Amino acid sequence: MTRPYQICTRCVMDTTDPDIQFDENGVCNHCREYDEVVRRRVFTGVEGVRNLEQIVNQIKGDGNGKQYDCVIGVSGGVDSTFVAYKAKQFGLRPLAVHLDNGWDSELAVRNIENALKKLDIDLYTLVLEWEEFKDLQLAFLKASTPIPRFLAIMQLSPLCGIPLPGSASSMLSQATIPAPRPIFHLPGLRGTLTGCTSRAFTNSSAQSH
């Protein structure tokens, strides 16, 4: 039986998502999940400052005696540039990592170079093999699955002896997307998922990723 069309009274999600559910007020489960994620993970005021200080102190302690105490991903966008700025402001010694997957714009590259030069942060750029990454992108599109993020940072951190990679996203604007998302936050599954998807939908085994 065809489900009648319905759109969330709070956001733009609708019944084109086959798993969407609505409460008695017409608010979808994605909005309710967002509220729960923000309640658990967004800290403000004195509590937020205290939690941030604890994280910074942990990073400094773990990185004592090393050239870098954290790795941060940089894209040339606002979020990652702000993280780079705050890392220096907190007295951290970050190594910036940029993943060049063939989609870089001249503006993004210029933003990265200018920001890191002013902040005196070293940059490591990982350039992916274009044909292989193109096949991988097509594979994930055919699988209707988001491409796992932060792979370069996760792989580089242990090589540099750095236990805490850093990344940036806005919890208030990116806190929730439909159900498949949580699997990408389990580091042990990243390589397995990428390899399986690649083998299923391309002739490549995604060795570089």
Evaluate whether residue 194 is within a structural domain: yes
The span from the CA of 135 to the CA of 114, in Å, is 32
Evaluate whether residue 99 is within a structural domain: yes
Q: What is the per-residue pLDDT across 2-56, written as a single tens digit (0 to 9) for each?
A: 889 999 999 999 999 988 999 999 999 999 998 998 888 888 899 989 999 999 9
The span from the CA of 127 to the CA of 74, in Å, is 14
Question: Comparing 170 with 186, which gets the higher pLDDT?
Answer: 170
On the question of pLDDT at 191 being above 80, the answer is: no
With 0-12 CB in 10 A as exposed, 13-18 as middle and 19+ as buried, what is 33? middle
CATH number of the domain where residue 149 is located? 3.40.50.620
Evaluate whether residue 152 is within a structural domain: yes
pTM of the model: 0.67
Evaluate whether residue 132 is within a structural domain: yes
Identify the domain containing residue 137 by its residue range: 65-201
The span from the CA of 113 to the CA of 6, in Å, is 47
CB count within 10 Å of CB 180 equals: 10
Q: What is the per-residue pLDDT across 76-95, written as a single tens digit (0 to 9) for each?
A: 888 889 999 999 999 999 99
Question: What total of structural domains would you count in the chain?
Answer: 1
Question: Which H or E run includes 117?
Answer: helix 106-119
Evaluate whether residue 195 is within a structural domain: yes
